[in-house]
Structure 1
Amino acid sequence: MNGEIDTMIATEKIVKAHHRTKSNTSTTLANYWTRFWMRYAGLSFFGRLATRFASWFAAPHKARPYLARMNPRGYIAAGVTIYHDDLRLGRNVFIDDRVVIFQRENGGAVELGDRVCIYRDTILETGHGGYLSVGADSSIHPRCQMNAYVTPIEIGCGVMIAPNCAFYTYDHGVAPDQPISKQPLQSKGSIIIANDAWIGVGVIVLGGVRIGEGAVVGAGSVVTGDVPDGAIAAGVPARIIKMRSDLI
């Protein structure tokens, strides 16, 4: 009886070892495949096709930015729409599927610093003299809209922007004697987001605003005025509710 039990245990160990070997082999092959194709990644048509092949065995969505670390040219997904003649990319930038980078007349540059992550369904748009810059190690999460018209949007380093945010530096004139769509664009000034700020889900930021270094803006807020360094702001319009230093 003991001999049969020993045989069963030994057989089970052999089967488990076999499965581990198969799993390790599959993982090794998948990693090799990914690294092979990421060597050719880039902004060109072929480079973006290479990222599609590289991602076949990769985990989805927010697990993919590591792919951009494999190549200084970064990861620009095949499903990205780029209609812009002044796109400037730093090293190891990650741009997810269905991102749109668009330039209207007289639109300035879109500049993404090293290791910036732009997640899916985000729109980056410049026009009428505005430009957009995003500093190193910042992330813009899904379904955000950044419209830099007339004046710029400048986002610092290490900034986290949650999903469904909208930044607009401009609005339309509303004089009563002509259609709104025919009136010139106007702006109260640029949008500046300083280093290490955190912008919550669904925040709207309007022109003429500076959000300070290390500041936090609560979900659903509408920011129409400056937020000081280290402040926590929330509401419509956003107001200072406390300082981060108060939490110590």
Structure 2
Amino acid sequence: MIATEKIVKAHHRTKSNTSTTLANYWTRFWMRYAGLSFFGRLATRFASWFAAPHKARPYLARMNPRGYIAAGVTIYHDDLRLGRNVFIDDRVVIFQRENGGAVELGDRVCIYRDTILETGHGGYLSVGADSSIHPRCQMNAYVTPIEIGCGVMIAPNCAFYTYDHGVAPDQPISKQPLQSKGSIIIANDAWIGVGVIVLGGVRIGEGAVVGAGSVVTGDVPDGAIAAGVPARIIKMRSDLI
């Protein structure tokens, strides 16, 4: 009886290992053809059939320097620049309005689902190597740029807006020209918490942390921890040592 159980377990283990090997072969085969083209994005769909979902998928982008651009990504932009091994998840939208500048994603950048990257009216968006933008973020670079450094983590539901509508009383707001107080700059290794809003004319310093739900209207120094509406400096990371 014991010997029979061992044989059955060994059979199941062998069958499982064989299935895993075939799934890995399937994934790697299709990822060889992945890329930004229609066929390349179709290849990523096939490659993901046996892959784990959502945040378990960025490893697929490491299989091909052209990265992983999901079949469900919407790209309406004529100046998209991708580094090596970039991961762009399903339902991401990359959109260009009138006179919109480039969207540039550095090596190994991860953009997760339902995020919108949008440029217009002279603004551009750049994201440095090894940075990640998590689900449902909105990045609107109009008039002036959004520049995100390397190794930056941006949590879900964040919104970055470099511009405002004019509010003069003599005409409808929707008809007024866009205005900007300046660029949004996020320095290397910063961490932006869930639901943070960042407005134009702001620099968030290297290694800075912004707490969940904050509205950032002014600069955050290097290594600072800020939170609140509007965000204010709570302490420095060096104070935690």
Q: Taking structure 2 as the reference length, what is the TM-score of the superposition?
A: 1.00
The answer to whether structure 1 residue 105 and structure 2 residue 105 are counterparts is no
CA distance in 2, matches of 1:174, 1:105: 22
CA distance in 2, matches of 1:28, 1:182: 59
SS of residue matched to 2:23: helix
CA distance in 2, matches of 1:228, 1:15: 62
Q: CA deviation at 1:136?
A: 0.2
Q: CA deviation at 1:24?
A: 0.1
Structure 1: runs of 5+ lacking an equivalent:
1-7
Deviations 1:23-58 (A, max 9, x none): 000000000000000000000000000000000000
CA distance in 1, matches of 2:182, 2:4: 73
CA distance in 2, matches of 1:35, 1:9: 39
Q: CA deviation at 1:233?
A: 0.0
CA distance in 2, matches of 1:10, 1:216: 58
Runs of 4+ in 1 over 6 A off after TM superposition: none
SS of residue matched to 1:42: coil
Q: Tell me the residue number matched to 2:117.
A: 124
Q: CA deviation at 1:184?
A: 0.3
CA distance in 1, matches of 2:115, 2:239: 34
Q: CA deviation at 1:73?
A: 0.1
Q: CA deviation at 1:168?
A: 0.1
CA distance in 1, matches of 2:97, 2:66: 26
Q: CA deviation at 1:160?
A: 0.1
Q: CA deviation at 1:116?
A: 0.1
Q: Tell me the residue number matched to 1:87.
A: 80
Deviations 1:48-98 (A, max 9, x none): 000000000000000000000000000000000000000000000000000
CA distance in 1, matches of 2:43, 2:138: 27
Q: CA deviation at 1:185?
A: 0.2
SS of residue matched to 1:70: coil
Q: CA deviation at 1:99?
A: 0.1
Deviations 1:119-170 (A, max 9, x none): 0000000000000000000000000000000000000000000000000000
CA distance in 2, matches of 1:150, 1:120: 26
Q: CA deviation at 1:198?
A: 0.1
SS of residue matched to 1:241: strand
Q: CA deviation at 1:22?
A: 0.1
CA distance in 1, matches of 2:133, 2:24: 27
SS of residue matched to 1:167: strand
Q: Taking structure 1 as the reference length, what is the TM-score of the superposition?
A: 0.97
SS of residue matched to 2:10: helix
CA distance in 1, matches of 2:240, 2:12: 51
CA distance in 2, matches of 1:182, 1:205: 24
SS of residue matched to 2:126: strand
Count residues with an aligned counterpart: 241
The answer to whether structure 1 residue 213 and structure 2 residue 226 are counterparts is no
Q: CA deviation at 1:114?
A: 0.1
CA distance in 1, matches of 2:95, 2:188: 25
